[in-house]
Amino acid sequence: MKNLTGKERFKTWLPHGFEFRGPADSRRLHAVCDQIRTYFAGNGFEEVIPPLMDFAPTFELARERKSWGFESRDIDGENLAMRSDLTVQVVKAAASGILSETGGFFYIQPVMVDQRWGSGHRRQILQAGVELLGDRSGRVGEMIRLSLNSPFGKQLRLIYGDQRFLRILLSETSNEAFQQATQLLDKKDVAGLKTFASQSDLSSEARKVLLELPFLSGKSLDAYRQVAAELPALLPVIDESPSIPGILYDFGLVRDLSYYTGPVFQAYADENHEPVLSGGVYDGLFEKFSGKHVPACGFAFDAELLAFALSPEPGMRKES
């Protein structure tokens, strides 16, 4: 077919980052979602369906970059956005009285996250997630076990970190320097970290820990305790970490969502560079909507990665 350009692209092209799912893919995706729905409901979580659009400032609470989502204005001039984050909508619903302030909820819905052409990232992502609201002993371990005991858990490698570790380690730096350091850690850029450390106002003890972080990924908690021995403020964060067989530790783990306040975790499948699961603790998010402190945590599967990256069945691939 002729390669159309300009305004005629709509006749044969889809916007980048979006896909049309044919019958086989649709069956595969529905089967995975049915498994997740049954699993979450069987563990006491109730299903909710957040709205597809919300006020744009709702999602600005989730991301550092305002340009992350798709925004528009309605007929009355209100600034609206396609949902780019489901956690903020669930917490907002509880803070405004639509949902109970405590309890467990789950959803299986798409989010729209804008990405530049050529980045290789999808812009429509089907998330299957749980939100646990209210103070609850052992809640982080409960969330991790819920993810690892899922029908897909045996195929995942779960990595655990804690946002407080980096906040404490880099507390002497400006917010701009903090962002720079976390970007370098996210890339495991050892040379860049050396340059950053040499130009920063960090103490010698903090520099030492920062430069060791890329090499500690996957190491034991004792290895982190040894490196952080000269910075005792870091030790309580390490000591609070759950000890669960099979999880790996990476206190240099960086998340792009700004609302995380404590433990964070991600899970990967073999031969896949994108996380299949992401989650953590966001104890300050409820307060942003209501002024009231209510602890919250949760995680979300990328349902499409589960469907098409984890041991796909023969004959269940995309139609050409």
CATH class of 9-152+276-320: alpha beta
Four-residue CA torsion sign, 223, 229, 230, 236: positive
3-state DSSP assignment of residue 112: strand
Burial class (CB in 10 A: 0-12, 13-18, 19+), 283: middle
How high is the pLDDT of residue 115? 87
3-state DSSP assignment of residue 204: helix
The CA dihedral of 43, 49, 54, 59, to the nearest 10 degrees, is 20
Q: Which two tokens stand for residue 211?
A: 């430069």
3-state DSSP assignment of residue 157: strand
Which residues pair with residue 301 across a beta bridge? 128, 277
Strands (E), the chain: 46-47, 53-55, 71-73, 79-82, 103-112, 124-133, 156-162, 248-249, 263-269, 277-281, 296-302
Residues in the chain, pLDDT under 50: 1, 314-320
∠118-120-123 over CA atoms, to 5°? Answer: 100
Q: How many CB atoms lie within 10 A of CB 212?
A: 17
**Dist. CA 99–CA 125, nearest whole Å:** 24
Q: Where are the domains of the chain?
A: 9-152+276-320, 162-257
